[in-house]
Amino acid sequence: QVLAWGLRGLRSGVRAPSLEVHCGGQTLRTPAIADLATNPNFPINALLLTLHLPAEEEYMPPIRLRVLDTRGFGYRPEVGQACVRDLGRYCCQPHSEGQPHGSGHPLPGPVSPLCSLQVLPRVTVEKRAVDKVVEEDEEDEDEDDWWSKFYAAMGDKTKSRQRTNRDRLKIYSCELEAVPEFEGLQDFCQTFPLYQPGRHPTVGEDPVGEFKGLFCVYPLPEDPGVPPPPRHFQELPPSRPQKCLVRVYIVRAFDLPPRDRSGLCDPYIRVSLGTKTLGQRDQYVPNTLEPIFGRLFELTGTIPLEKDLRVSLLDYDLLPPDQEIGTTTIDLENRLLSRFRAHCGLPTLYHTTGPSCWRDQLPPSQALEHFARNRGLPVPEFSAEGTAVTFGDNTFLLSHFESGPPTYRHPGAPRERLALHVLHACHLVPEHLETRTLYNSTQPGLEQGKVQMWVDIFPASLGPPGPPINIAPHKPQRYELRCVVWNTRDMDLRDINLLGQRMSDIYVTGWLDGLEEQRQRTDIHYRSLQGDGAFNWRFIFSFQYLAREQLCILPRKEHFWSLDETVLKVPPKLILQVWDNDKFSADDFLGVLELELTKLPQPAQDPQTCTPAPQGTPHWLWLRWGAQVTPPLSLFRQRQVRGWWPCTVQEGGKRRLSGKLELSLELLTAKEAEERPAGKGRGDPNMYPSLPAPMRPEWSFLWLQAPLRALRQGLWRHYRCRLSLGLALLLLLALLLTFIYAAPGYLAMKLVNPLEGLRL
């Protein structure tokens, strides 16, 4: 039996083609297609050809296909040919009386739509496990969107805000038609390429057209008095073309080949269906080999007249034409006709509104009825409450799939939820993301990267579809980090003053990782004799943060001649370094403190309990309170924290405690920062909080600026008794020396008395 569905892709000069099927000395000719431009399907689709074939499949002759055009004066030129070998794969058993015909193709047991209750225990266990998790941990659905499901399916729990896997997304690592359980989406009819007549096709030769059809080989009874079995291909969908709305979701691409001298490319998308093309040159993603697009394209087309959807990636150049990176082609007709319901994937849960709102044209109950009607199956019968349905010979209960009332928001009626569970039990195409390989005609056979996407097809005859899914990439939000350095304790002492005392001139520098141009430093606390420093100094860092990925966005130009910025993504990390200031040599490094804002270690409330974590513990476990290690916190959730953190230095391959820093960290959005202005350091506006001048010892100053004051603070403060005694002794010594010096002259004057002779 032959299912001759139609011809595709023939050249424009073909007028009214027909098909000839040759096998085992017999020939079958189909009626000609009257108008190939308006309806490329045959007027009669199901045909019967009686043959005498050997019982052994390996000895069965091939089927030869010839496409003939109808011209004037009876001229019938051959425009294409094909040869179908291995007829064993089309052998099946004839239908029995009362068996549903479906599409005519025998339904395999594992994917039969008449699912038995044997699949229910597995489904029930999965659903109940999900319900149990949901009962224990309610998630905030306001934060859920499609990207949460995407990152959850990728196994990245840090980027996904879903705490359960109840609303799942299936990611296929290949094309949807390459998934084994979906039989290449050619279960209704297969695609046979047609080649130039009169010669054997060569490897890599482009076909001149396609034949859409299917064969079914089954034995007939040998007794002529026995009526033949019912034919296959009885329940067929309408063969007339139908208008469809096509939604193409392009999520991302990766492993793209470089196209620019920088080793990167500037890809953008171009989607084509028939004569319609979408995609703009200026919507490119600059300087990347792994672009994230998050784009939705909506096109309308008439299937099968416009059945081939082409998705191309091109590299943007300043001067066109742009280079093509790669292209992938999707046969929309196969997806629309497949009994696996590949035109719109089934979501795990039924939502009436919200980010995961039902997007198909028919609700699940009507979709189940439509599925049964197209397959020649009895229409399902629901109970009045909608908690039970009879489908075929089986009865499905909602309690088999759900252990209790749904805990997620906007669940919909029980009838719709049960119908969705039954549809999933029929092994149809789920909500998915397929990974398609890109190819370039200039390099045939070589992969040019991959693109992750999916396609929804909505026939206009079924009504308007639901709202599209928003897959736009999340935009980074600008934040402002305010870090106040209050004090230091027990910092290493690297200098020795004139009196032999160990000391340091301490200052602190800070910046965000990747934003070294925002590096800031405090003033200097001079002559710290115990490693203590007082600063009351405010650092202010502005940055862009992508909350979904928990990364900072750093757009920058790699070279001054670069046209576009390259976007770098790094974790939000605050780096603080403590230095000893030296005037005539390089500054001495005292310690470093690195704080990742999403995994911030809990601070100590006093310097005595501030100790680093022991070796071998994770990097975020900094503090230890006895035997209990406190979990980290996220500054993006807590927004404000103050305490003591340890500074360390690397010595001999190990981290050593070199001091402690008292900090207060506050994170504000751009709007909050504008409403609560603050200056850097202790500059104006000195608010939120107001920072007074630090209370430093009297000897905390630079000795070159006031040497006498430095002597007073360095000598008199510590040696005033000795200096006083020394000065007294020096004065006595001066008096004694003066006496010794003046005594001989005084005695001589007494003895000679020269003034007495003058009086005489």
**Does the structure show a pLDDT above 50 at 445?**
yes
Cβ neighbour number for residue 447 with a 10 Å cutoff: 13
pLDDT at 458: 96
**Does the structure show a pLDDT above 80 at 128?**
no
Nearest Cα neighbor of 593 from 623, 615, 568 is: 623
**Does the structure show a pLDDT above 60 at 112?**
no
* Measured CA distances, 432 to 176, 383, 471, 580 (Å): 9, 31, 13, 58
pLDDT-based confidence at 661, cuts 50/70/90?
very high
Give me the mean pLDDT over the 274-278 stretch.
94
pLDDT digits (tens, 9 = 90+) for 468-477: 999 999 899 9
DSSP 508-558: EEEEETTEEEEEEE---EEEESSS-EEEEEEEEEEEEEETTTTEEEEEE-S
CB 346 within 8 A of CB 429: yes
The single-letter DSSP state of residue 606 is: S
pLDDT at 173: 95
Average pLDDT taken over every residue of the chain: 85
pLDDT-based confidence at 159, cuts 50/70/90?
confident
Give me the mean pLDDT over the 237-256 stretch.
95
CA–CA separation, 87 and 207 (whole Å): 22
> Tokens in use for 368?
């189940």
Nearest Cα neighbor of 548 from 137, 154, 158, 155 is: 158
Give me the mean pLDDT over the 534-541 stretch.
96
CB 301 within 8 A of CB 246: yes
Cβ neighbour number for residue 432 with a 10 Å cutoff: 17
CA–CA separation, 356 and 575 (whole Å): 40
**Does the structure show a pLDDT above 90 at 293?**
yes
Q: Between 1.25.50.10, 2.60.40.150, 3.40.50.720, 2.30.30.220, what CATH number should domain 240-345+432-466 receive? A: 2.60.40.150
Give me the mean pLDDT over the 484-497 stretch.
91
pLDDT at 306: 94
pLDDT at 303: 93
Q: How many CA atoms lie within 13 Å of 555's alpha carbon, on the beta-carbon side? A: 12
**Does the structure show a pLDDT above 50 at 113?**
no
pLDDT-based confidence at 374, cuts 50/70/90?
confident
pLDDT at 320: 78
pLDDT at 337: 93
- For 2-93+186-215, which CATH class? mainly beta
Ordered by start, the domain boundaries in the chain are: 2-93+186-215, 240-345+432-466, 346-428, 477-611+631-700
pLDDT-based confidence at 72, cuts 50/70/90?
confident
* Measured CA distances, 1 to 28, 91, 719 (Å): 10, 10, 116
pLDDT at 498: 63
pLDDT at 295: 96
Give me the mean pLDDT over the 269-289 stretch.
94
pLDDT at 58: 83
* Measured CA distances, 135 to 127, 222, 285, 347, 424 (Å): 12, 64, 42, 21, 23
- 3-class DSSP state for residue 657? strand
pLDDT-based confidence at 163, cuts 50/70/90?
low
Give me the mean pLDDT over the 16-38 stretch.
92
Query: Tokens 């630090």 — which residue?
Result: 694
pLDDT at 545: 96
* Measured CA distances, 747 to 737, 739, 741, 757 (Å): 16, 12, 11, 17
Cβ neighbour number for residue 58 with a 10 Å cutoff: 8
- 3-class DSSP state for residue 723? helix
**Does the structure show a pLDDT above 90 at 570?**
yes
Cα-Cα end-to-end distance for the chain: 171
Please check whether the two domains, 2-93+186-215 and 477-611+631-700, share a CATH topology: yes
Q: Which range, of 510-524, 574-588, 623-637, averages the lowest pLDDT?
A: 623-637
pLDDT at 124: 37
Query: Tokens 């996220």 — which residue?
Result: 634
CB 316 within 8 A of CB 266: yes
**Does the structure show a pLDDT above 80 at 120?**
no
Alpha helices in 303-445 (DSSP H): 332-337, 364-374, 414-425
* Measured CA distances, 197 to 71, 208, 211 (Å): 17, 10, 14
Angle between the N-to-C axes of helices 414-425 and 120-136, in degrees from 0 to 180, rounded to the nearest 10: 130
pLDDT at 139: 40
**Does the structure show a pLDDT above 90 at 646?**
yes
What is the enclosing helix (H) or strand (E) of 106? none
**Does the structure show a pLDDT above 80 at 50?**
yes
pLDDT at 496: 81
pLDDT digits (tens, 9 = 90+) for 297-333: 999 999 999 999 999 999 998 887 899 999 999 999 9
Q: Strand 432-440 vs strand 170-171: parallel, antiparallel, or unpaired?
A: parallel
pLDDT-based confidence at 224, cuts 50/70/90?
confident
**Does the structure show a pLDDT above 60 at 723?**
yes
CATH topology of domain 477-611+631-700: Immunoglobulin-like (2.60.40)
Residues 6+ apart with CB under 8 A from 102: 113, 235, 339, 375, 376, 377
Q: Where is pLDDT greater, at 624 or 538?
A: 538
